[in-house]
Amino acid sequence: MTRELRMGNLKMGLDLDLDLKRFRYARAETDVLQDIKINIRPGTVTAISGDSGSGKSTLGAILGGILPRTGLDQFEGAITVGGKHIAFSENESPRIDPSGWAQHIAFLPQDANDYLSGIRETVAEEMAFSLENRGVPRKDILTRIRAVADMLDIKHLLAQYAGTLSGGQTRIVALGALMVDNPQVLVLDEPLAGLDKNAQNMVLSAIQQLKLLGKAIVVITRNYVHGADLVDEVLKLEDGELSRFERKSLPSNQESNLDKKPAQLTGRNCSRVLLEFAGTNLGYQPSAPQIVSGFNLKIHAGECVALLGPNGIGKTTILKAAAGLLKPTTGKIRTSTFPGLLLQNPNDQLIERTVFKEVGYGLRPGTESRRQVAEVLDRLDLRGKAEMHPYELSISERKLVALASVLVHEPEILLLDEPTEGLDENAIGVLREILDVCTSKGHGVLFTSHDDSFVAHAANRTVQLNAVENAR
């Protein structure tokens, strides 16, 4: 039995309680979550942590009213919102009004692009989209946008074309679009992923202000370290089951030392230059300001170089140019071999129906290509996922599949855009091993990252981009 559920006008300062007996996706053979009870109270921050595939994003989507999908997923349990009890069972499956739910309980998914409409030109228009659809007066919309833009320090982005934002900027804008709705409960899936330190601090400051305003915030993350002092309760998901940690058990946020002595290069013919930028200017439109100006860099055989800088400074643009996807307006880009590019968002790179077909895409069919695919899947511990659809995998596994589709072509220059974003600890360990093997073979690696710990362990040297050298 299905019935339409509308939230109506609920009181300010919502309590949100979840009593979940079991949850299973359509066509799945096992439950993803079982026996979970959560109590979310106004003016609190709750962190839900867990490894990739633990079910934390699924749990966030249930709290956010995205799941279960009526007539597809199996959900037994109850959600109580502001005193309104909503029961789910085999015989009773209420259909939640997503628009009404989101006005009170808003969910920001891990892929921020899934929250934005993608049809509005500027950042300000994206932030206004949901309010315009509800008929909020224009004056009130502008007031809300300005207030949120001040809180997140994105006023300089309001007039910018939304399609030109960096990955980190997109995440902050999506958070801003969520905040202008003024929900009472905010469920945020990896809100700090891909953000530079200033942006992370700005988001944490916004969470602190929302908490003081009586909002309830749920932060979903694989390892909650940043902003640990804001957290009132820490919940850990493992194999679909929930456990609680004392707040004092949270790790402290310690800065990594990026000034350590670089590792010695061990690759063959380390003096050989694989990639060179010489006085390079990069931009997407001839009439627009240059994104990167006067950039100079050499990547030698056996080197692993980290490209650092704030969100929007042009790091991804440099990687795209190195891969041949963007031509310089002035200056030179020289490569002595072909590169392989891993994009920041693996969803932008996956097109096939199975993992095996995805990794083998572009190879000449035959026994040799099947051997190559199987070998790469083994290296990334993905052999057991070979016949699965990539979108059935966790974001960490999906990113490894995208990496495998690059590695199978054996590029001598590996270009990685925020490679640790979305990865769990095991996957990061696998990535480090891959980079060690690449550099030991005399290959070169250029990667962007805001993950100081990974940079400190993986990079032979770092290159810092700043606004003095670049147009933004």
Contact 56, 63 (CB under 8 A): no
Chain centroid, CA 76 distance in Å = 29
Contact 151, 209 (CB under 8 A): yes
Q: Tabulate helix, strand, coil % of the chain (nearest 5).
A: 35, 25, 40
Which residue segments constitute the domains of the chain, with CATH numbers given? 4-249 (3.40.50.300), 273-464 (3.40.50.300)
| Backbone φ and ψ of 350, nearest 5° | -105, 125
List, in order, residues 6 or more apart from 76 with CB less than 8 Å away: 20, 21, 22, 23, 88, 89, 90
Q: What is the pLDDT along the chain (472 residues), one digit of tens a residue?
A: 555 445 444 445 789 999 999 999 998 889 999 999 999 999 999 999 988 888 999 999 999 999 999 889 999 999 999 889 999 998 888 888 888 898 899 999 999 999 999 899 999 999 999 999 999 999 999 999 999 999 999 999 999 999 889 999 999 999 999 999 999 999 999 999 999 999 999 999 999 999 999 999 999 988 765 667 889 999 999 888 888 865 544 444 444 444 443 444 544 456 899 999 999 999 887 767 889 999 999 999 999 999 999 999 999 999 999 999 999 999 999 998 889 999 999 999 999 999 999 999 999 999 999 999 999 999 999 999 999 999 989 899 999 999 999 999 999 999 999 999 999 889 999 999 999 999 999 999 999 999 999 999 999 999 999 864 553 3
C-alpha closest to that of 403 among 381, 425, 371? 381
Contact 295, 307 (CB under 8 A): no
| Helices 138-152 and 197-212, packing angle to 10 deg | 120
Alpha-carbon distance values, 433 to 144, 260, 381, 429, 437 (Å):
47, 20, 12, 6, 6
Whole-angstrom Cα Rg for the chain? 23
HSE on the CB side for 362, CA within 13 Å? 13
Distance CA 294, CA 469 (A): 7
Contact 299, 363 (CB under 8 A): no
Query: Quick check: helix, strand or coil at residue 233?
Result: strand
Distance CA 463, CA 166 (A): 19
Distance CA 208, CA 215 (A): 10
Q: Which two tokens stand for residue 227?
A: 């902003």
Is residue 180 packed enough to be buried (19+ CB in 10 Å), middle (13-18) or exposed (0-12)?
buried
Is residue 125 packed enough to be buried (19+ CB in 10 Å), middle (13-18) or exposed (0-12)?
middle
DSSP assignment, residue 364? P
* Element holding 288 (H helix, E strand): none
pLDDT for the residue 284: 84
List, in order, residues 6 or more apart from 240 with CB less than 8 Å away: 31, 32, 33, 34, 54, 55
- Which amino acid does the sequence have at 420? T
The reported pTM is 0.86
Distance CA 170, CA 354 (A): 29
Buried b (16+ CB within 10 A) or exposed e, 282-304: bbeeeeeebbbbebebebbbbbb
| Backbone φ and ψ of 219, nearest 5° | -110, 120
